[in-house]
Amino acid sequence: MYSHSLKFSALQSRRVPVACILLLFGFGPLLAGCIRQGHASPRRVLRVCSDPNNLPFSNSRLEGFENRIAELIAREMNADVEYTWWAQRRGFIRNTLKSGDCDVVMGLPSDSEMALTTAPYYRSTYVFVTRKDRGLLVTSFDDPRLRKWRVGVQIVGDDLANTPPAHALTNRGIVGSVIGYTLYGDYSKENPPARIIDAVAAGDVDVGIAWGPLAGYFARHEPVQLEIAPVSPRSEGSLPFVFDISIGIRRGEGALKQELESILERKRSDIEAILDEYGIPRVKG
């Protein structure tokens, strides 16, 4: 789910303790305490590499659910969170986690070969998104109506590395009425991946097929009521539509992996509450 590398000269290497960010917004008298950190006993730091414009997962204002979960984990570690911002494109893991800029990356597929991963802390799925007032609820790639409808689907842009739903449609010969929405969107705007959900709400497409967390979150912010249904089948040969999601760390960091997994298990109910708050659809194994 990561593609081409877009660098931010001002953001990519800026590591900012969360406590200091909060102090800068209207808490002037407390700012001195932030500045004096260098003279105090050093606290433990959880270094997180994340995307500054990728809601519902993360943003530079720390409004994403992955930001919330990272902060929860840091509290359990008696640590401060420190961010390095980098757009999640191709090269993200190589230029962040593997280069030593951070200790963890939130939200990696559990079977990722790019990093060592913890036990999953949620499992989600691709979903169909439709307008409730149009009565177009669909649950299967084999629904014959998809051949006649305008179908919006997330795409990467390279046929050899496209999203699972794009491949599923192509495998069924559903191509003529398909409208592609790039997985990354226009990064000059806020919330670039939301365009496909906006298109469903506006009636530009009859159905959208999107990654569940993105769809669940942005559907709540549309002016019309949208319906979300998990795609079926759940997999097609070697093509999965359901993914376990974990925290990624560098290989060889076994002690950190064990510590994180202990926290994830201990704080499971709190994590579930955060996911519910953001409308993240989950599926059972």
| 108-132 per-position pLDDT tens digit | 999 999 999 999 999 999 999 999 9
Contact present, 92 and 99 (Cβ < 8 Å): no
Domain 125-240 belongs to what topology?
A: D-Maltodextrin-Binding Protein; domain 2 (3.40.190)
Confidence of residue 7 (pLDDT cuts 50, 70, 90): very low
Mean pLDDT of 3-22: 38
What architecture is the 15-122+243-277 domain classified under in CATH?
3-Layer(aba) Sandwich (3.40)
Q: Count the residues in the chain.
A: 285
The per-residue pLDDT for 161 is 60
Confidence of residue 69 (pLDDT cuts 50, 70, 90): very high
Mean pLDDT of 76-103: 95
The per-residue pLDDT for 40 is 56
Contact present, 220 and 227 (Cβ < 8 Å): no
| Residue ranges matching CATH 3.40.190.10 in the chain | 15-122+243-277, 125-240
φ, ψ of residue 107 to 5 degrees: the values are 80, 35
Confidence of residue 15 (pLDDT cuts 50, 70, 90): very low
Task: Say how far apart CA 131 and CA 240 lie, in whole Å.
Answer: 26
Q: What is the 3-state secondary structure (H, E, C) of the chain?
A: CCCCCCCCCCCCCCEEEHHHHHHHCCCHHHHHHHHHHHHCCCCEEEEEEECCEECCCEECCCCCHHHHHHHHHHHHCCEEEEEEECCCCCCHHHHCCCCCCCCEEEEEECCCCCCEECCCCEEEEEEEEEEHHHCCCCCECCCHHHHCCCEEEEECCCHHHCCHHHHHHHHCCCCCCEEEEECCCCCCCCCHHHHHHHHHHHCCCCEEEEEHHHHHHHHCCCCCCEEEEECECCEECCEECEEEEEEEECCCCHHHHHHHHHHHHHCHHHHHHHHHHCCCCCCCC
Dump pLDDT digits (tens) for 146-165. Answer: 999 999 999 986 544 689 99
Provide CB contacts within 8 A for 50, sequence distance 6+.
Answer: 57, 58, 64, 66, 67, 70, 83, 84, 85, 86, 105, 106
Answer whether residue 13 shows pLDDT above 70: no
The per-residue pLDDT for 41 is 58
Dump pLDDT digits (tens) for 228-241. Answer: 999 999 998 889 99
Confidence of residue 89 (pLDDT cuts 50, 70, 90): confident
Answer whether residue 246 shows pLDDT above 90: yes
Task: Say how far apart CA 14 and CA 169 lie, in whole Å.
Answer: 41
Task: List the one residue out of 89, 83, 45, 43 whose CA is nearest residue 63.
Answer: 83
Answer whether residue 99 shows pLDDT above 50: yes
pTM for the model: 0.83
Structure-token match 């900012």, residue found? 16
Mean pLDDT of 180-195: 88
The per-residue pLDDT for 186 is 80
C-alpha 23: how far from chain center = 27
Mean pLDDT of 15-20: 42
Answer whether residue 193 shows pLDDT above 60: yes
